[in-house]
Amino acid sequence: MTDSKPLTGGGLLFNVLEQHGVNHIFGYPGGAIMPIYDALYDSNVKHFLCRHEQGAAFSAVGYARASGKVGVCMATSGPGATNLITGLADALADSIPLVAITGQVPTAAMGSDAFQETDIFGLSLACTKHSFQVSHVDELEKVLHQAFEIALEGRQGPVLVDIPKDVQIASVEQTFKSVAPLKNKVTLPLADISKALDLLTHAKQPILYVGGGVGMANAVEEVRAFASKTGIPSVSTLKGLGALDANDTNYLGMLGMHGTKAANLAVHDCDLLIAVGARFDDRVTGKLDQFAPDAKVIHFDIDISEINKRRKADAPILGDLKENLPLLTMPLSIENWQVKVQQMKHDFSWRYDHPGEQIFAPAVLKEVSELMPKNTCVTTDVGQHQMWAAQHMNFDEPCNFLTSGSMGTMGFGLPAAIGAQISRPHDTVITVSGDGSIMMNVQELATIKRYQIPVKIVLIDNAKLGMVRQWQDLFFEGRLSETDLADNPDFCMLATAFDIKAKQITQKSEVTAAINEMLDHDGPYFLQVKIDAKDNVWPLVPPNSANNEMMESA
């Protein structure tokens, strides 16, 4: 704010954002948030105008996940606020720290069914970690600081702050001139590890099961040290990808519904499962009572409500993974088990000898992974391409693979990539999308154009809602209900309309050159990869089946 103007609620918002190190926010203006956008005019915070509030929310999510900072998005009341909800629900389900600011009609008008009034505070209850409605400007500063603390504390998550228009306009004095940098506070004592130690030292066939909590606990180094020193074979959830070194001989890849055969068979056979920052999600376990049926469980988590929620833990360890895991890091003698799982890994390795000239998506994504620069950040949408990316690409760190895990939100990939690129302008950012998903937030191509964001878009195009089509073929007698997208737009023409360089490839012989051209291009690039519409994602654990009962072909 300039010194000549009295500080308003709107100005105070940006002062507090700056105190928390927020440099970039994503949003869309409207009537009930105009005083905040007026204050933005004088602020040092850089605002990115997205073309839909859901795009703003997912850009903030991508920003948070790629950078480890709190993502911030804002929207006006009514439809602006409700359009944020999918992004908030996604952030809650994947434990992403987010602060969402919504404008609200003036306090005097609240509850009168005013124009663009909706009870976003009430709507937020099921899709945020916490939420506030600021009823007086004197509460605003404290509430905003609390919002950042809650978003980051313990198991991270989204916090919504609803600010009525009169509160945004009202004059206010700022109390806290500076704030201490926030950390992910953990106040829990060191855990009792004696039971876990006993299980670990007596295990003959242990498996390390790594989830998204590892990256959030900033414990990648500790988990890799544990895997390396103990030599325990390891598997990863979708959100845990990047936490383990993909080149480790004892790393078996992703487990679960579309996990590797080696990972699922090893977990099925193990006698001890060490879950770190993972929560026994149904996509991981398959039929729950047949998941790792002979295993004892050591469960590390920061959230007590995850302990014993779906699988009883024989040794629960509640607290900071970074502090607790080193207490169990020791050499073990499990050579026979290592030999067995390494043999499975060899026997069931991926094959890329797809017949015919049509492009095989797994091979394309493997090649993108091999050619992309170190520390590239990859985002995905949801569907077959997402699972192929998870199976066939390798990532340096969890912050380099951003995918909507729990919520499975189509439309995530493009805006998340925009947020990731803004947070890390010097790293390559690639979004892998599908022809169904890309249309969910396609308006964000305009955001790419507006700010010349050099995101690389790899569109895996089978002119289908491929994953649903696959399930209809396998489990609904081939009754293909509403999954054909043969009338898709001309994607290259669409991208070109947003000044994005575009190319379509249809033959295997075109793949390498196209990937190199995309990666060498300075600006945004749209690579449309036409694939065989009949290709399925394998392996697949059918519904209500154990993970060792996976299908490997139709």
Partner 1 sequence: MNNYTLIIMTDDKQVVLERILQVTRYRGFLINGITAKVNTGNNIATIELLVSSDRPISLLTDQINKLVDIKGVTVDNNASQQPNAKKYSA
Return residues touching partner 1 (CB under 8 A): 121-122, 125-126, 129-130, 132-133, 150, 303-305, 308-309
- The tokens describing 74, both together, are 């804002």
Q: Which one of 48, 53, 205, 367 is the catalytic residue?
A: 53
Residue 384 appears among annotated catalytic residues: no
Specify the residue, 121 or 300, whose C-beta has the smaller distance to partner 1: 121
Q: Which one of 467, 491, 498, 550 is the catalytic residue?
A: 467
Tell me how crowded residue 68 is: count the other CB atoms within 10 A of its CB. Answer: 15
Kindly write down the DSSP assignment for every residue of 258-296, as one continuous string: T--HHHHHHHHH-SEEEEES----HHHHSSGGGSSTT-E
Shortest Cβ 140–partner 1 spacing (Å): 14
Query: What residues are paired with 502 via a beta bridge?
Result: 526
Specify the residue, 130 or 503, whose C-beta has the smaller distance to partner 1: 130
On whether the CB atoms of residues 119 and 58 are closer than 8 A, the answer is no
Query: What residues are paired with 504 via a beta bridge?
Result: 528
Shortest Cβ 56–partner 1 spacing (Å): 24
Shortest Cβ 294–partner 1 spacing (Å): 24
Shortest Cβ 124–partner 1 spacing (Å): 9
Shortest Cβ 126–partner 1 spacing (Å): 6
Query: What residues are paired with 235 via a beta bridge?
Result: 209
Residue 115 appears among annotated catalytic residues: yes
Specify the residue, 125 or 371, whose C-beta has the smaller distance to partner 1: 125
CA-based torsion, 71, 318, 309, 217: positive or negative: positive
On whether the CB atoms of residues 170 and 135 are closer than 8 A, the answer is no
Rounded Cα gap, residues 491 and 432, in angstroms = 14
Residue 508 appears among annotated catalytic residues: no
Kindly write down the DSSP assignment for every residue of 396-460, as one continuous string: SSGGGEE---SS--TT-HHHHHHHHHHH-TTS-EEEEEETTGGGGGGGGHHHHHHHT---EEEEE
Exposure string over 268-280, b if 16+ CB within 10 A, otherwise e? bbbbbbbbbbbbb
Shortest Cβ 125–partner 1 spacing (Å): 5
Shortest Cβ 305–partner 1 spacing (Å): 4
Residue type, 543: P
Specify the residue, 197 or 407, whose C-beta has the smaller distance to partner 1: 407
Specify the residue, 105 or 402, whose C-beta has the smaller distance to partner 1: 105
Shortest Cβ 235–partner 1 spacing (Å): 26
Specify the residue, 63 or 132, whose C-beta has the smaller distance to partner 1: 132
3-state secondary structure of 378: strand
Specify the residue, 149 or 248, whose C-beta has the smaller distance to partner 1: 149
Residue 393 appears among annotated catalytic residues: no
Q: Which one of 115, 176, 475, 476 is the catalytic residue?
A: 115
Specify the residue, 187 or 305, whose C-beta has the smaller distance to partner 1: 305
Tell me which residue has tokens 């379509």: 504
Residue 467 appears among annotated catalytic residues: yes
On whether the CB atoms of residues 361 and 529 are closer than 8 A, the answer is yes
Tell me how crowded residue 67 is: count the other CB atoms within 10 A of its CB. Answer: 17
Rounded Cα gap, residues 251 and 380, in angstroms = 23
Shortest Cβ 102–partner 1 spacing (Å): 15
Specify the residue, 125 or 330, whose C-beta has the smaller distance to partner 1: 125
Q: Which one of 34, 69, 116, 142 is the catalytic residue?
A: 116
On whether the CB atoms of residues 128 and 187 are closer than 8 A, the answer is no
Q: Count Cβ atoms within 10 A of the Cβ of residue 520 and give its class: 0-12 exposed, 13-18 middle, 19 or more buried.
A: exposed
Contacts of 528 (CB under 8 A, 6+ apart): 459, 461, 491, 492, 502, 503, 504, 505
On whether the CB atoms of residues 304 and 232 are closer than 8 A, the answer is no
Catalytic residues: 53, 115-116, 165, 467
